Amino acid sequence: PRPTPPATTPEQAAVGGEALAGAGLVAPPGSPAPPAVTASTWLVADLDTGTVLGACGAHVPGTPASTQKLLLAATMLSRLDPKQVAVATRADLDIEPGSSAVGLLVGGRYSVETLWLGLLLQSGNDAANMLARLGAGSTQAGVAEMNAQARRLGAGQTHAVTPSGLDGPGQFTTAYDLALIARACFADAAFRRYALTERTQIPAQPALKKGGFQIQNENQLIYRYPGALGGKTGFTELARHSYVGAAQRGGRRLVVTLLGAEARPVRGWQQGAQLLDWGFGLPRDASVGRLVEPGEGDAAAAEPRNAPAAAPARTVSPPWRGPAGTALRRVGEGDWRMIVPLAGLLALTVGGVAAVLAARRGRSRRRGRRRA
């Protein structure tokens, strides 16, 4: 049984253009029909301009299998010195029994370049674990960095659980996201060199008394498709066949991504080759959308929005306290226009009271003399 993918939000479905939002086929108006393929979703785009030439279910989530190793490359290639030599640990070799591996040995010493070649030529899950550890300190930290890189690239529907693409709960990507990730990879000269390498030698380990051996590139596109630039194959029982491939022709570089394919009647890389042929046959101005640039989504989210107009300021009047209260407030605030009149009034009042009292005292004295 396949895991239930996360729901695609309207914002995610609209990334790259409204035409890419549907689950079905989208092609430029008037273009020939694309080849019939068994892939459940796919996309063809221009590596240089970012123009999307056609797609089917561009934003429909699928399981990546080993095409996820491209996200590992996009994350760690710039961090690691290809000449660095590291020792493989037992944890690096903790992979699903029977899954693809280079054949690293516990205690073996391998250069980072050898590990990249083992990852991309032989789809080594042991090499993936080791590269994630070397790039971030641990395999788990490497996966976290991969997810952060996916967000930076705009691949918002991609979530990695393993560095190798071995199935894990909640691990998904889309044909559109894979194109963003592949575009970042093919912009790196080292990746382009590794992806076109046909064979390489895994070095002997004298300390372990083990000899070296040769590995070959499993991507048949580089042998059989004129102008091939390389790519990545993938397969698990759950994901079925996935594929990413790129090629150049007539001054154009195109990339194809596909998920959920079956190997019959033709294999995944052959389906990719057919879609590349279709893309190269379209006019240069053909388009159904575009690949977003790294950081574009973050920049859009950071743009300031027009703030709502502020409500007009209201003047709050002080509470009414009557004439006396108002006068006392103005005196307290030092208003001389009120202090001087009040002082005069107070003086008059005091003088009047004093005069009245004096007159009363005089009458009392006269009355006292009469009694005597």
Which residue in 100, 123, 242, 287 is the catalytic one? 123
Do the strands 240-249 and 252-261 form a parallel or antiparallel pair, or are they unpaired?
A: antiparallel
Which residue in 66, 100, 164, 287 is the catalytic one? 66
User: Beta-strand (E) ranges in the chain?
Assistant: 25-26, 41-46, 51-56, 85-87, 109-111, 199-202, 213-216, 228-236, 240-249, 252-261, 289-290
Which residue in 31, 40, 69, 287 is the catalytic one? 69
Residue 197's Cβ-side half-sphere holds a number of Cα atoms within 13 Å equal to: 22
Q: How far apart are CA 191 and CA 326, in angstroms?
A: 83
Q: Is 66 a catalytic residue?
A: yes
Q: Is 123 a catalytic residue?
A: yes
Beta carbons within 10 angstroms of residue 19's beta carbon: 17
Q: Which of 61, 56, 51 is nearest to 22 (CA)?
A: 56
Which residues partner with 42 through β-bridges? 56, 258
Q: How far apart are CA 106 and CA 94, in angstroms?
A: 11
Q: Is 164 a catalytic residue?
A: no
Catalytic residue ranges: 66, 69, 123
